[in-house]
Structure 1
Amino acid sequence: MDRSTKFTLGETVNVQVLQEIQDKFSDATGLAAVIVDSEGNPLTRPSNFTRFCKAIRSTAKGLERCINCDDQGGRRRQKPSVYQCHAGLTDLAAPIIVHDQYIGAFLGGQVLISQKEYDAKENMYQCTKDLDIDKEKLTAAFHEVKVMPKKRIQAAADLMYIMSNYIVEIGAANISSNLLMEEMKAKANLEAMLRATELKALQLQVNPHFLFNTLNTIARLALLEGAAQTQEVVYALADLLRNNLRDMDDLRTLSEEIKLITDYLTIQKVRFGERIRADIDVDPQLTNTKVPALTLQPILENAIIHGLERKVEGGKVGIVVRRQDDQVVISVVDTGVGLSPDKIHEIFQAETRKETHGQTTGLGILNVHKRIQHYFGKEYGLKINSVLGEGTTVDIYLPYQFQTI
Structure 2
Amino acid sequence: MNKTDKTLKDFVDSNLYSRYSGLLSLSNISVQLVDTQGEILLEFNPSPDFCKLICQQDERRVCSDYICKLEPGKGDRFTCRHGLSNIVLPVDFNDQTVGYVVGAQVYSPESEHRKYLIDIMALAKEKNLEPEFIAKSISAIKTIEESKVDIHEQLCNHIAKNISYDFSESLQNTDTAIARLSIEKEMLEKKILDLEAKNMSLVVNPHFLFNTLNTIARIAYFEKSHTTEELIYCLSDLLRYNLKQDDELHTIGAEIDNIDKYLYIQKKRFRNRLEYEIDIADSVKPHRIPNMIIQPMVENALIHGITPKRDGGKIKIYAEKYKDDIHIFVVDNGNGFPKEVLQSLQQPENKLGIGFRSTDKRLKRYFGEDYGLKVVKSDYSGSTVKISISTKPNARR
TM (norm. structure 1) is: 0.50
Instruction: Please give the alpha-carbon distance, in whole angstroms, between the structure 2 residues aligned to 1:134 and 1:40.
Output: 28
Instruction: Please give the alpha-carbon distance, in whole angstroms, between the structure 1 residues aligned to 2:5 and 2:178.
Output: 19
CA deviations 1:34-90 (Å, max 9, x no partner) are: 211121011124633322223315x7x5769844333334437544x3212344322
2:104 matched to which residue of 1?
109
Q: Structure 1: 5+ residue runs without aligned partners? A: 178-199, 244-255, 279-302, 317-334, 339-405
2:213 matched to which residue of 1?
233
Q: How many residues align?
A: 251
Instruction: Please give the alpha-carbon distance, in whole angstroms, between the structure 2 residues aligned to 1:95 and 1:209.
Output: 22
The residue correspondences of 1:208-247 to structure 2 (distance < 5 A) are 212-218=186-192, 225=205, 227-240=207-220, 243=222
Q: Does 1:141 align with 2:129?
A: no
Q: AA paired with 2:38?
A: G
Contact map agreement 1:169 1:205 (CA 8 A) in 2: no
Instruction: Please give the alpha-carbon distance, in whole angstroms, between the structure 2 residues aligned to 1:103 and 1:12.
Output: 12
Q: Structure 2: 5+ residue runs without aligned partners? A: 237-260, 278-300, 315-397
The residue correspondences of 1:347-362 to structure 2 (distance < 5 A) are none
CA spacing shift, 1:175–1:86, aligned 2, 3 Å: farther
Which of 45, 48, 60 aligns to 2:46? It is: 48
Q: AA paired with 2:209?
A: Q
Instruction: Please give the alpha-carbon distance, in whole angstroms, between the structure 2 residues aligned to 1:201 and 1:22.
Output: 18
The CA deviation at 1:152 is 0.7
Instruction: Please give the alpha-carbon distance, in whole angstroms, between the structure 1 residues aligned to 2:59 and 2:117.
Output: 19
Instruction: Please give the alpha-carbon distance, in whole angstroms, between the structure 1 residues aligned to 2:61 and 2:185.
Output: 35
Indicate the RMSD between aligned Cα atoms, in angstroms. 4.3
CA spacing shift, 1:64–1:87, aligned 2, 3 Å: farther
Q: AA paired with 1:93?
A: V
Contact map agreement 1:111 1:146 (CA 8 A) in 2: yes
SS in 2 for 1:145: coil
1:385 matched to which residue of 2?
none
The CA deviation at 1:22 is 5.4
Contact map agreement 2:12 2:42 (CA 8 A) in 1: no
CA spacing shift, 1:121–1:257, aligned 2, 3 Å: closer
CA spacing shift, 1:145–1:310, aligned 2, 3 Å: same
The CA deviation at 1:264 is 3.3
CA spacing shift, 1:53–1:230, aligned 2, 3 Å: same
Instruction: Please give the alpha-carbon distance, in whole angstroms, between the structure 1 residues aligned to 2:234 and 2:61.
Output: 41
Of the structure 1 ranges 83-92 and 307-316, higher mean CA displacement relative to structure 2 is found in: 307-316
Contact map agreement 2:213 2:233 (CA 8 A) in 1: yes
Larger RCO: 1 or 2 (CA < 8 Å, sep 6+): 2
Which of 220, 232, 239 aligns to 1:266? It is: 232
CA spacing shift, 1:14–1:336, aligned 2, 3 Å: farther
CA spacing shift, 1:131–1:25, aligned 2, 3 Å: farther
Contact map agreement 2:52 2:59 (CA 8 A) in 1: no
The CA deviation at 1:8 is 3.0
Q: Does 1:156 align with 2:122?
A: no
Task: Calculate percent identity across the aligned residue pairs.
Answer: 13
Instruction: Please give the alpha-carbon distance, in whole angstroms, between the structure 2 residues aligned to 1:100 and 1:14.
Output: 20
CA spacing shift, 1:28–1:9, aligned 2, 3 Å: farther
Q: Which structure would you say has the larger Rg? A: 1
